[in-house]
Structure 1
C-alpha cells in the first residue's frame, strides 16, 4: 500500500468487515436473549417435569401390577377350566356307568321277553360307549361289576346277532314279509348293517325273480 488510494480502499474493506462482524454479534446477542428466555422457561418447568417423572414411575408400577394381576387371573381361569373339564369328564363317566348297568339289566329282560327291538336298542347304546375309557378309569371297588357288565353285554350282543340272522332267514323261508322287514331293521343296531343289507338285497332279488316268473 504505497498510495493514499490503496490505503483508503483497505480502510473501507476493514470497515465493511467490522460492520459485518458487528451485525453478527448483534444477531448472536439477540439469539442469546431468546435462548435465555427459553432457558428460564425450562427452569420454570423443572418442578413439573419432576412431577411428570414421578407420575410416569407410578404409572409404570400400576402397569406392572396390572400385568401380574392379569397373569394371575389367567392362571386361575386355566385352573378353573381344567377343573371344569375334569368334573365334566367325571360326570360323563358316571352317566356311562349308569347306562352300562341299565343296558345290562334291560337287555336280559328284553331277550327273555323276546322283545328283540328293545334288546337291540340297548345293545346299540352299549356299543356307542367308549369301553376302553371306562375300563381305564374304573375304580377298584366297581371293577368286577363293570367287567361283568361288559361280559354280559358282549354275550347278549353275540346271542342277539345270531338270533337276528336266524329269525331273518326263517322269515324269508316262510315268506313272512313283515318279519323280514322287522329283523332287517335290527341289523344296524347290532353293528352288522352290511350283513343285513346283503341279506335284504338277496331277498329282494329273489322276490323280483319270483314276480317275473309269475
Structure 2
C-alpha cells in the first residue's frame, strides 16, 4: 500500500478505522501503533500527530462507539413509543444488535480496560448511552408506588448487565458456551422474568 504520510485527508479517522479492524481481529492489546499506521497506509511517525499512544487511539474508538450506541438506543426507545414496555424492550434488543454490528467498537468500549473517565468526551458519550436506558426504565416503572420503585439507575443497570452477559456468553462465539436458544430469545425471556418479578408485566397464564 502506498504511504500517504502527513497529508492524508482524514488521517485521524483512518487510524481509528484501522484500529477497529485490528481490535476485532486480535483484541485491544494485540496490535501496535505501528501496525495501525501500516493498516491505514501511513508512516508510524504520522500517528503521533493525533494520538500519544495506543490507549488514546482505543479510547477514541470507544468514544465513537458510545456515540453510535447512544444513537441506536435512542432510536430504539423512540421507535418503541408510545408504549413504555415496548420502548424498554427495544433498548435491550438494541444492545445485542450493536454488539453484532460493531464488534470493534464493542470491544474497545467494554473489553479494553479503558476507563470511561479517561477523557471528558468519552465520559459524556458513555453517560448519554446510559441515560437512554435509565429513561426507559423510569418510564416503565412509573406506576409502581414510589416507596417500592427501584431507582432507575439500578433498574437499568440490571438490564444492562443481563444484556451484556447474553452478548458475552452467547452472541460472540465464546468457546464452550453454545446455547440451544438464540441470544434474542435468552434476552427476551430474561427481561420478561425480571419485569414480572417487579410486577411490571402480567404473569404467564
TM-score normalised by structure 1 residue count = 0.29
Q: Which has the larger radius of gyration?
A: 1
Q: Which has the higher contact order (CA 8 A, sep 6+)?
A: 2
TM-score normalised by structure 2 residue count = 0.30
